[in-house]
Amino acid sequence: MRKQIAAANWKMNLTYQQAEKLIDDLLALPHQLKENQQVIFAVPFPYLTMVTHKLAGKQNVFVAAQNCYNKKSGAYTGETSVEMLQSIGVHHVVIGHSERREYFHESNEMLAEKVDICLANNITPIFCCGEPLTFREANEQDLFVAKQLLESLYHLSAEDIQKVVIAYEPIWAIGTGKTATNQQAQDIQAFIRHQIAGHYSEAIANNISILYGGSVKAANAKDIFSQADVDGGLVGGASLIADEFNTIINSLK
Ligand code: 13P
């Protein structure tokens, strides 16, 4: 059975002290994860170890990096390898967030390499996809996302594709307060699953968690997560507020 996941993406926010307090506040709030549910915190690199320690021993709770480099090691000043992440106990990495695609020019081809290096090191990629507003307005969101998946994921074996978590994040809904409607999220995420079924099989597609991201908050999480092909969310702004994110966790199916 595929996992239902509440993933926090803190992006480039919070000081170390604020990050510690956020995790402490969140741990003090009541939540009970079912066996099919997971919580993931994608935090800035300098906080990975601290958050890992604070969450030690918690069932179904993981720490993720927000990026990694597509090379194994070497003279790449300022970059972080998956081996480094592995060695500090990090087993998830967000790959291809739209902010990285836009500001750091990450291409589908480069992201395919990042996915490969993660999987080769037993790291779960949380692969982001999603269309800009112009494509949504032209009703070409399916085409746009299909190309992202084709060029970054479909080279994977049937075994490996099932190790990937997909996060659909329409760019026009990120940080804008404008959420996709439940139907819009359901339609495109069903399309993504259908595409995967076509390339692999229905059983494989049904095994893959597909998260929705873009202005998810406590007030709308339950509705969005209730959609059949929405297996939780990747949450930016609302994950920085302990009780907001806790309500989002408690909204998982
Ligand atoms: P917001 O939840 O702030 O819209 O951000 C979504 C996102 O980009 C998560 O990766």
- pLDDT confidence bin for 225, thresholds 50/70/90: very high
Residues 6+ apart with CB under 8 A from 57: none
Residue the block writes with tokens 């720490």: 63
Tell me which of 106, 131, 169, 244 is the catalytic residue.
169
In the reported structure, the alpha carbon of residue 229 is separated from the centroid of ligand 1 by a whole-number distance in angstroms of 19
Average pLDDT over residues 33-55: 97
pLDDT at 177 over 80: no
In the reported structure, the alpha carbon of residue 234 is separated from the centroid of ligand 1 by a whole-number distance in angstroms of 7
Cβ–ligand 1 contact at 198 (below 6 Å): no
DSSP state for residue 77 in the 8-state scheme: T
CB 246 within 8 A of CB 209: no
Residue-level pLDDT at 187:
96
> Rounded to whole angstroms, how far apart are CA atoms 128 and 134?
18
Q: What are phi and psi of 76, to 5 degrees?
A: -130, 70
CB 147 within 8 A of CB 100: no
- 3-state DSSP call for residue 71? coil
- The question of whether 169 is a catalytic residue gets the answer yes
Residue-level pLDDT at 64:
98
Note down the domain range covering 133: 4-249
Which CATH number goes with the domain that contains 156?
Answer: 3.20.20.70
> Rounded to whole angstroms, how far apart are CA atoms 179 and 215?
5
Assigned token pair, 179: 């959420």
In the reported structure, the alpha carbon of residue 181 is separated from the centroid of ligand 1 by a whole-number distance in angstroms of 15
> Rounded to whole angstroms, how far apart are CA atoms 6 and 224?
12
Assigned token pair, 186: 């359901």
Cβ–ligand 1 contact at 233 (below 6 Å): no
- The question of whether 79 is a catalytic residue gets the answer no
Residue-level pLDDT at 236:
97
Total domains present in the chain: 1
State the closest ligand 1 atom to the C-alpha of 175, by its place in the atom list counted from 1: 4
pTM above 0.85, yes or no: yes
CB 65 within 8 A of CB 45: yes
| Mean pLDDT lowest among 131-135, 165-169, 178-182 | 178-182
The amino acid present at 19, given as its one-letter code, is: A
What pLDDT, in 10s, does the model give residues 186-210?
A: 999 999 999 999 999 999 999 999 9
Assigned token pair, 202: 């229905």
Cβ–ligand 1 contact at 211 (below 6 Å): no
Cβ–ligand 1 contact at 216 (below 6 Å): yes
Cβ–ligand 1 contact at 9 (below 6 Å): yes
Assigned token pair, 84: 């480094």
